[in-house]
Amino acid sequence: MIPTLHIQKIEPGNYLAEMRGTPDGSCEFRVSSIAEAIRISAAGAGNQVSAFHIWFEHVGIGTTSTLAMRHDAETMAQRLMVLHGQHL
């Protein structure tokens, strides 16, 4: 089973991220950006998880490797924001 990272915007600069379905269960944390949520999730997964399904509110970018999440979080965050803007 591939875990899910779900990010919700509370207000500008305040996001709630939830990792679901990880070997350690689920957890929530607050961050200041979408990219930060992606990076923290990849780091927190360690070597136990190789990929996540990533969602920002109602849009997703599919299954993404934790390696890519560590090294390209800003690009993924930008893609999520663009998709979110297109589906309002």
The pLDDT of residue 87 is above 80:
no
- Residue keyed to tokens 């927190």: 44
- Angle (CA) 50-15-4 rounded to 5° is 25
- Angle (CA) 75-40-52 rounded to 5° is 70
- Angle (CA) 5-8-63 rounded to 5° is 25
* Phi, psi (degrees; rounded to nearest 5) at 46: 55, -135
* Res 25: pLDDT: 87
The pLDDT of residue 86 is above 80:
yes
* Res 45: pLDDT: 82
- Residue pLDDT, tens place only, 12-68: 999 999 999 988 889 999 999 999 999 999 998 878 899 999 999 999 999 999 999
Q: In the chain, what are the domain boundaries?
A: 4-86
* Res 88: pLDDT: 61
Q: Which residue has the higher pLDDT, 47 or 11?
A: 11
Question: What are the CA-CA distances from residue 51 to residues 5, 12, 13, 17, 87 (Å)?
Answer: 10, 27, 26, 16, 25
